[in-house]
Structures are given as structure tokens and as C-alpha cells.
């Protein structure tokens, strides 16, 4: 295949499954990175690095839910993600869920200043929280294991544009 046809094919490519690194642009200038189909330590790192890369100098918001099925390493893996949030200079962290793992993630991120940390007990209270937090120009990553229930949330957030 020649490079012109390859470029044309790639330009027309769309995600095969929703919720896998899908970038959504809202009319109010908020960019949403929907990657809430699966989560493990490596994909969390990739998602957070993508967030900072896409954002450039814009404000970053990481909406993170639990990484499931990690067994004995779960708490330590979540703490590692929290430290990475701080190292990458994420501006706002929103944790979703009340598990010990999510507490470990938030606690490990807390020393990063001026990081703002918010929490939502479940996806149902997330939309009002984000409506208060988000500003035009923000870039938001939504990432969690599918069982957390955030895979459709990014589309709801995308449709929710305040006047």
C-alpha cells in the first residue's frame, strides 16, 4: 500500500470499541479522553501520560476509578498511580469509589502540591461534581476498570455542556 492510501485510511479510522482512548471535544472547550474500558497499572500510566501530552499547557483533570482484579498488589499499584499523578503535575484528581485502593491512590497523590483532590462515592454523583469543577479548556481523562461503570460516563459528560 502506498503512503497516500495509508494516510487516507488512518485519517478515516475510528475506534472499534467505545471507551478505548476516545477523544471527545465539547462545545464549551472541554476535551474528554474516554479510556474507561479497562485499567491496569500500565494502562493507567499510558492514560495519564496521554492526558498530559494532549493537554499541553491546559489544566488537566484525571477522573480515576479502581483497577480491578489485581489481587495482592492492588493497594500498592493504586498508590503507585497516585504518585504518578503527582509526578506528572496533574492539576485535579477525582477518585471514584470508596475502596481502600482508591484511598491509597488519593493519599499517595496528596503530597503533590497544588494538586486538588476530590472524590465521588460512585458514578452517579460524578456529573454534578465535574459540572462545578470543569472550565473551558480543561482536558479530562476518564479511566477505570469496566466494572466501575465509567465506560458510558464520558459520553454523558461530553453531552453535558453548561450554558
| pLDDT tens column, 134-147 | 999 999 999 988 88
Mean pLDDT of the chain: 86
Higher pLDDT, 130 or 37: 130
Cβ-defined contacts of 46-49 (< 8 Å, 24+) = 47/21, 47/141, 47/143, 48/81, 48/84, 48/85, 48/88, 48/90, 48/141, 48/143, 49/88
Q: Is the pLDDT of residue 4 over 70?
A: yes
Give phi and psi for 67, each to the nearest 5.
-90, 115
At the fourth CATH level, which superfamily is domain 17-159? Mur ligase, C-terminal domain (3.90.190.20)
Q: Which three cell numbers stand for residue 32?
A: 474528554
Structure confidence at residue 13 (pLDDT):
61
Question: In angstroms, what CA-CA distances link 117 with 6, 66, 90, 150, 161?
Answer: 43, 16, 10, 18, 23
- Across 105-132, average pLDDT: 89
pTM for the full predicted model: 0.85
Residues present in the chain in total? 163
The percentage of the chain sitting over the pLDDT mark of 90, rounded to a whole number, equals: 52
- Under the banding of pLDDT at 50, 70 and 90, the label for residue 16 is low
Amino acid at each position: 500500500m502506498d503512503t497516500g492510501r495509508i494516510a487516507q485510511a488512518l485519517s478515516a479510522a475510528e475506534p472499534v470499541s467505545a471507551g478505548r482512548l476516545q477523544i471527545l471535544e465539547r462545545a464549551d472547550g472541554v476535551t474528554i479522553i474516554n479510556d474507561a474500558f479497562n485499567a491496569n497499572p500500565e494502562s493507567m500510566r499510558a492514560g495519564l501520560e496521554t492526558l498530559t501530552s494532549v493537554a499541553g499547557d491546559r489544566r488537566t483533570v484525571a477522573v480515576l476509578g479502581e483497577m480491578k482484579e489485581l489481587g495482592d498488589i492492588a493497594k500498592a499499584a493504586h498508590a503507585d498511580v497516585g504518585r504518578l499523578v503527582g509526578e506528572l503535575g496533574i492539576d485535579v484528581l477525582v477518585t471514584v469509589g470508596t475502596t481502600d485502593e482508591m484511598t491509597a491512590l488519593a493519599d499517595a497523590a496528596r503530597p503533590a502540591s497544588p494538586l486538588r483532590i476530590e472524590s465521588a462515592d460512585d458514578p452517579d454523583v460524578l456529573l454534578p461534581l465535574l459540572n462545578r469543577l470543569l472550565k473551558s479548556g480543561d482536558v479530562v481523562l476518564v479511566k477505570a476498570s469496566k466494572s466501575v461503570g465509567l465506560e458510558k460516563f464520558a459520553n454523558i459528560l461530553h453531552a453535558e455542556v453548561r450554558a
